Structures are given as C-alpha cells and as structure tokens.
Amino acid sequence: MGLELVAIVGVLMLGAGVMLLVANLRRETGSTGLLDQIGTYGYVAEVASRAAEAPGRRPLDRLAGWLGDLTARRVGRFSEAELRMTLLSAGMYGTTPRKLLGYQVILAIFLATVTLWLVPVAGGSGILAILVGAGAGVLGWFLPTYYVKRRRRLRFEAMDRQMPDMIDLLVVTIEAGLGILASMRVAAESLPDPLGQELRLTLQEQRMGLSVNEAIESLSRRADCSNMRIFVRSLTQGEKLGVSIGTTMRNLALEMRKRRKAMIEETAQKIPIKMLFPLAFLIFPAMFIVLLVPAFIKIFEVL
C-alpha cells in the first residue's frame, strides 16, 4: 500500500511539472504587449530588452534563459533563426529560441529524474529504470518543440478559416473608397486573433518604416499558410501588373470561396476512411457478439 501511494504521488508530481512548464510557455504569449512583439522584429530593441529584464520576471523563465544560453554555447549546430521564425509563426513573441532550448533541458531533466525515482519505487529493476528514464528524457527534450509546432499548425488552420472573411471585408472597404492599408486596418480591428493580430503587426511594421510590400512579405513569412500565400501573391502580382486592387480582391474572394468548398468536400470524403477503424474493430465486433452469441448458445444447448 505504501509503494502504491508513493507511485501515485510520483505520477501527480510528474503531471504537475509538465502542466507547469506548458503553462509557462503559454503565458509567454498572453500579455507580452506590443513592445515585445515589435521588439522581436528588431524595432525598439532597447525598450524590449529592458522589459525582458524587469525584476518581476518569473524564476523559471530566468532559469530557462540561463540554461538555454549555456546549452547554445555548448551545442555547435543550433538553428536559432529557423526556431525564431517558428516561434513567431506560433504567436509566441515573448519566447526566445534560447529560452525554448532551456525549457527543453528543464523538461528533459525533470522527466528523467522523476522516472528514475519512480520506476524503482514501483518495483522495477535498475536497468528498466535507466531505459525508461532515458526515454522520458528524450520525450521531455522534444515536448516543447512539439508544443510550438502544434500551436503553429493550429494557428495556421485558424488563419486559413479566417482568410475568406478578411478578403470579403477588404473587397467591401476597397470598393467603398479606402486604400489597401486603411482596409487592412479595418480588417485588423474587426477580425479576431490570430489573423487580426498578424494584420496589426503588419500595420505596425509599416508605421515603423517598412514599405507596404516589405510589410506584406513579412506577413507572408510569419503566417505561411496556403490562403495567406495566395493573398500575398495576388496582391504583389496585381500591383506589379497594374491591376486594380478591387478587381484583384474580387477575384481572390471567388477563389477563396472555391477553396473553402473544396476543403469541405475533401473533409467529407475523408470521413468514410476515418470511420473504417471504429467500424471494423469496435462496432462490428460488438454487433456480432450481440447477434451471434445467443444463436451459438442455442446451438450448443441443442447439440
């Protein structure tokens, strides 16, 4: 009974630690403010760095930053630029690549330590504890990056769903006489996050000195989803060819509606394949048991 109690406490500690680390990563995206977001792109870097070193930072963040710096100096190959773009695409503007690396180290050490303590307590051998601890450490190393990539994928899917509404809004405002920047400002104020957030950052970049084309290209790099690529490509090519923005947006609105219809049809066609596994392994066996077992029982009783 004592070993079972210790094992339960260990599992609870493991879950609490994982939840704490995920909550810290998630809090990085909640209230960093516009200065941190713009500072990520290189603007007002001095103000952003002072805000990052404020005395109210969480101890776990400072530990993650210190471990990330230490690990980055020890590891020769560390694609910081690629990881920074992944964090920006995921909307995690306040999390630096080295801080994410520090979270990977913390989670790997935490899971490995808890597993090495928990397996012998539960009655496992030392070799099993080492193997399970190594696997837990590897899992802890990859969990933060998996969380970031999953967040980026869900964010891109949300932006893909919001793009047709944005295009319709741009068509209405442009035909009403507004320019492309004013139309994007109206869309940024009307649309929810994440698309509204990316539009606000694009407008902020343009106010900071970038040209319209550079700000839109930066938007396409951050939000590299399919509908956004089509929008940016249509906008830049229409401007190069001298086509009216209103005409470009109307054609793009029609294209977005066709793409939405095609995506819905594709999802509907995937449903029978997704239903095959539960039908074959869950529903059909249960039906056969209910229908055939009474008949077999009668047959055995007669024979």
Domain layout of the chain by residue ranges: 2-155
DSSP assigned state of 95? -
Count Cα neighbours of 77 within 13 Å in the Cβ-side half-sphere.
0
What share of the chain in percent tops pLDDT 70? 80
Higher model confidence: residue 34 or residue 259?
259
What is the per-residue pLDDT for 15?
56
Please write the tens of the pLDDT for every residue from 31-88. Answer: 344 434 444 444 333 333 444 444 445 788 888 888 888 888 877 666 788 888 889 8
Going by pLDDT thresholds of 50, 70 and 90, the confidence category of residue 24 is low
Q: Looking at beta carbons, which pairs linking 202-208 to residues 24 or more positions away fall under 8 Å?
A: 204/34, 204/37, 204/38, 205/38, 205/41, 205/43, 206/181, 208/38, 208/43
Burial class (CB within 10 angstroms; exposed 0-12, middle 13-18, buried 19+) of 96: buried
Mean pLDDT to the nearest integer, 182-205:
90
Higher model confidence: residue 104 or residue 72?
104
Is the pLDDT at 166 greater than 80? The verdict is yes
167 CB-near residues (< 8 Å, 6+ apart): 231, 249, 252, 253, 256
